[in-house]
Amino acid sequence: MAADSTTSHLIGYARVSTDDQEAQLQRDALTDAGCSRVFEDKASGKNTDRPELTAALDYLRAGDTLIVWKLDRLGRSLIDLVSIVDGLRERDIGFKVLTGALSAVDTTSADGRLFFQIIAAMAEFERSLIKDRTKAGLEAAKAQGRTGGRPTVITDDLLAVAKARKAKGESVSVIAKALGVSRATLYRHLPD
């Protein structure tokens, strides 16, 4: 980080999963680490709606460092975590973990960046495995005659009615409304 230390800030992010849990331990650790501001969410790690995390990410500026008490407080998954930290790196923002098995993560140091690159490589490997498993599952389903997606709402009878009405000069909008389907659905099934 080449930012001026007088303008750099340490910003903390704390998260507890339920209203019954208390974030005081995390707040104390982040304050002791020198965080000038701490953002805090009460949300499950699986919850994508974490408004305080969004606010923290918006608040951070180049040269700042985002600090979390433990790595699992930030990301829902390894892939999610790598995505967030990559976004910080692209904005010249550091990232540091205070405790836990991965407390060596500190992207403001060379060792921490190396360690995080190893984590990122593992996440990329995980992405690849997920992609391969998904593809294999889809191919197996297709071989068994199953296809994915929503079932069509256009039956042969509805299509015949739609074609007959279209031949009489009715607009697709009128036909769609009468049949209770969307115009886009009719456009996909009616010949030009």
Q: Which of 65, 86, 84 is nearest to 1 (CA)?
A: 65
Question: 């490589």: which residue's tokens?
Answer: 121
**DSSP type of residue 152:** P
The encoded tokens of residue 37 equal 């501001």
With both helix axes pointing from N to C terminus, report the angle between 51-59 and 78-90 in degrees, rounded to the nearest 10.
Answer: 20
CA distance 127 to 120: 10
Is residue 17 part of the annotated active site? The answer reads: yes
State CA 19 to chain mean position distance.
Answer: 23
Catalytic, out of 5, 8, 17, 103:
17
CB atoms within 10 A of CB 52: 17
**Under 8 Å between Cβ of 14 and 53:** no
CA distance 174 to 27: 60
Active site residues: 17
